[in-house]
Amino acid sequence: MYFDIQGIRYYADIWGNGFPFLLLHGFTGNSSTWKEFTPVWSEHSKAFAIDIIGHGKTDSPIDKAKYDIEAAADDLNEILEKLEIEQTDILGYSMGGRLALTFAMKYPEKVRKLILESSSPGLDNEEERKKRRLQDEKLAEQIRMNGLETFIHYWENIPLFRSQQRLPETTRNLIRKQRMSNNEIGLINSLYGMGTGSQPSWWGSLEQLTIPTLIMTGSLDNKFCHIANEMTKSLKNSQWQTIEDCGHAIHVENPEIFGTIVSGFLNETYEYIR
């Protein structure tokens, strides 16, 4: 299903029955990220898996301003208004998690429950943000100079995704095919507008958020485990679940456990898994 929002054509894959559930993929992903969970989540939720601006079947405008993470959150709000959805659950992974948190900070009354997989509230230090912006600009230039295929080969081999090398080759090939379906301009501008260094820092505002929040990290993802630990100190109504022997993309590396935990949290049958 398509939505025309602020001159941008957004795509959403909609399935299931129940309470609204907004699903937001990571950088280089798309709505198909969540397709595997259709049989499980369809029983209790009506999912709206969005292709974030610059990804999948959603437009990839040239104007970088369109990719600002707060503008993207406003676009999500307009989509919900078009669907006449007053409140929703939200799950976001990595970049999608930062967008989910941004939406929750801007529109807290519209979020019933929030799930953040391998996500952060941004960078609290301006010097760190500046360094990260420079890093993201170099990545964007890498795409521009060398093309999408070379960049995807580089991206899937960064340390953040090292644990995915253990996945079956067929699975890794499917992930690569999905990543390759993206638009170069969309990924370039996403790095400029939605990168960790470009987004506002929400660290100082986390205490204001009272939405029930589940933070999920893989035990092999040390950086995001540290971030999650710090986030739980400020998020008063949060739970942190670490999944053993998983890296950054828990939903890919252990989908069965991931799907079960998400369902339990949404259905209030969640139990801590050791």
Output the domain CATH number for residue 136.
3.40.50.1820
Residues 6+ apart with CB under 8 A from 249: 26, 93, 94, 118, 161, 164, 218
- Mean per-residue pLDDT over the chain, rounded: 95
Residue 220 located in a structural domain: yes
Predicted TM-score of the model (pTM): 0.95
Residue 22 located in a structural domain: yes
Strand order in the sheet with 213-218: 2-5, 8-16, 45-50, 19-24, 88-93, 111-117, 213-218, 238-243
* Number of separate helices (H) and strands (E) present in the chain: 10, 8
In the chain, what's the furthest Cα-to-Cα distance? 49
Low-confidence ranges of the chain (pLDDT < 70): 270-274
Residues 6+ apart with CB under 8 A from 97: 24, 26, 116, 117, 118, 119, 120
Residue 230 located in a structural domain: yes
Alpha helices in 27-183 (DSSP H): 38-41, 69-82, 95-106, 126-146, 148-155, 169-180
According to DSSP, residue 65 is labeled G
Residue 272 located in a structural domain: no
Residue 226 located in a structural domain: yes
pLDDT, position 268: 82
The two three-digit tokens of residue 259, written as one number: 């799907």
- Domain assignment of residue 200, given as a range: 2-266
Residue 271 located in a structural domain: no
The two three-digit tokens of residue 54, written as one number: 């610059």
Residues 6+ apart with CB under 8 A from 189: 54, 60, 61, 62, 64, 66, 67, 140
Residue 73 located in a structural domain: yes
Residue 136 located in a structural domain: yes
Number of domains in the chain: 1
pLDDT, position 271: 64
